[in-house]
Structure formats: structure tokens, C-alpha cells
A = this chain, B = another copy of it.
């Protein structure tokens, strides 16, 4: 009963439904889909002590949980529709924590036009475990695949890469960089910006797409594996923010974070070389930086090349997958 009341108090205000018949009181949520051809579904779990700390701001944890899922929708070219929450909460979670957590959700619901359709809240003797499942719709029936890249396609990425991983480093270690650069990087770690609108606009342009979550190299490797071809990535072409450049100048040992850091939630996509001009125009129109960073190759190898065309070897990129 106590659990029911807690759910009602904190989460009912998030469940104002655009969908007839849906409410947190029901056994299950009903999503009316009359005009939709398909539904895109994605889910992510964050665990205290693994992905966040108890003293981290619950307002930001909520937004990160929401946005990493929305980024998966963006990578499919979907627009957000509804979400579910599964929460395993230990006794130490206070009403204040829940209040700030739900405030973060509330703000992002509004920002991304999505609402809470249901979920489950249970007790646990261990760390907080938070799962969010997001539903998106692809109105025109189009969606991005990882498997569509063709030989000769260029590889592009939105925004800048590595900021989030370097932000995490800046939280864990005391590095000598200006306060505003440190804050910029940490902000990028806590508050990724899912590329929803770009993902949709790329539906008629990209031959494949993925969001940068596991690390740029790993994610491009996913495209290679799914598409059954290889790629060359030009390290010197990678878009790196001025704050990240500053940090790397002082601490060059963190350079690898650019390639394997992950958590950027930018979109990496491939497109026919003929579409390069169109992509430049899209970048100007949307004011989202889009950078050409590589090319897909017939050879089933994923190579990362430095400015002298020498291969940069990194761990955990198993060609054995081919």
C-alpha cells in the first residue's frame, strides 16, 4: 500500500496521457496506434555504484536515463511517444531524492514530448536500479539500420566526440584545466543531447546510423559488422571541442578516450558520397555540426588512421566478429 501511494504521489503527475485508456492504475498500458505502422522500442538500465553515485544529483540521473534512451530512438530516426519506468529502490531513497528525480523527468517529458505510460516500483536490499523503456514512432515507416552501409559511403558524425568521457575523467581526477572547460565537459557527461530531430531528417539521407554510446570506434565497428564491410576512420578529422583539446594538450594519455570513451550520444552515420553537399546544407540549416570522418571500404577491416596514414591500434575491437 505504501508503495502504491509513493507511486501515485510522485509518478501520477507524469502520466497525463495523450492516449485514451492509459493510466498508471491499470494492469498494463494501452498504446493506441491507429496511424502508426510500427513502433520502436528501446530500454536502458542504470545502477547505483556502477553508473551513478547515491550523492549524484537525482535530477540529472533522471535526465540521463531518459536521454540515453531517446538517443537510441534518434539513432533509429524515431520520434518519442511514451515511456515506462522500472525502479528497484532501497529504503535509503528519500522523498527528496524522488522529488528531484521526478522533476528531471517532468522537464524532459515536456522538452521531448513524451509521457509516462506505466512501470513497476519494487523494494531492494541493494543499490538503486533504474530502467527506462522508451517507445518511439516512425510515422513514415522509414527507419535507420546499422546494416545499410555500402562500400564508398562516407562516415559522418554529429557534434563533437570524447567530451562525455573526458567529463567523467574530470569528475574522477583533479586535472589542471580552466573551470569553464571542466564544467563544459562534465555537463556533456551528465546531460547528453539526443539528436532526435537530426535522426529524423537523416531518414532519407543516411545508409546506416548508430548513436555513439559504446565508444566511437566500437560503434563504427558495429556498422561494419552489421553491413558486412570495413571502414577507415581518420583520427585527425574527428570533431573535438576546444575544452577537450585543452585537456588533451595537458594530458595526452587520455587521447584514446576520443575513440573508446562512449556516452557521447551523437549520431554516427554513413551516406553515399554524392550526398555530401546535401549533408553540408542540412548541417547549416539545423545548426548542428556534422563532420566527415571516414569512408566505408570493401576490405572487411576497420582501420583507424593517424594524420600520416599510419594505423592506430586500439584494444577491444575484435575483427574476430567478422
Contacts and interface: CB of A to CB of B under 8 A. Distances in A.
Interface of A: 1, 21, 25-34, 36-47, 49-51, 72-73, 75-76, 78, 84, 86-88, 117-120, 122-127, 129, 131, 133, 135-136, 138, 143, 145-146, 210-211, 213, 222, 225-226, 316, 318
Contact of A39 (B39, B44, B75): B39
Nearest to A90: B126
A35 B32 CA distance: 12
| The 6 A-B residue pairs with the shortest CB-CB distance in the complex, in nearest-first order | A126-B126, A28-B42, A27-B72, A86-B131, A129-B129, A126-B127
Contacts of A26: 76, 145-146
B143 A73 contact: no
Please give the count of copies of this chain that the complex contains: 2
26 contacts: A25-B226, A27-B72, A27-B211, A28-B40, A28-B41, A28-B78, A28-B136, A30-B38, A30-B41, A30-B143, A31-B39, A31-B40, A41-B84, A41-B117, A41-B118, A43-B86, A45-B120, A45-B122, A45-B131, A47-B88, A47-B125, A47-B126, A50-B124, A86-B133, A88-B129, A129-B129
Contacts of A27: 42, 72, 75-76, 146, 210-211, 213
Nearest to A39: B31
With most chain B CB atoms within 10 A of its CB, the pick from A27, A49, A126 is A27
Contacts of A29: 40-42
With most chain B CB atoms within 10 A of its CB, the pick from A29, A31, A45, A73 is A45
A82 to B, nearest CB: 8
Contacts of A135: 41
B31 A41 contact: yes
Contact of A30 (B33, B40, B49): B40
Contact of A125 (B25, B37, B126): B126
Given A34-B38, A44-B120, 17 more contacts: A25-B225, A25-B226, A26-B76, A27-B211, A28-B42, A30-B39, A30-B143, A31-B38, A32-B37, A43-B84, A43-B86, A43-B118, A45-B86, A45-B88, A49-B126, A126-B127, A131-B131
Given A125-B126, A316-B1, A133 B75 contact: no
A112 to B, nearest CB: 15
Nearest to A126: B126
Contacts of A40: 28-31
Contact of A75 (B28, B73, B131): B28
A146 B43 CA distance: 28
B143 A21 contact: yes
Contact of A124 (B25, B44, B47, B138): B47
Contacts of A36: 33
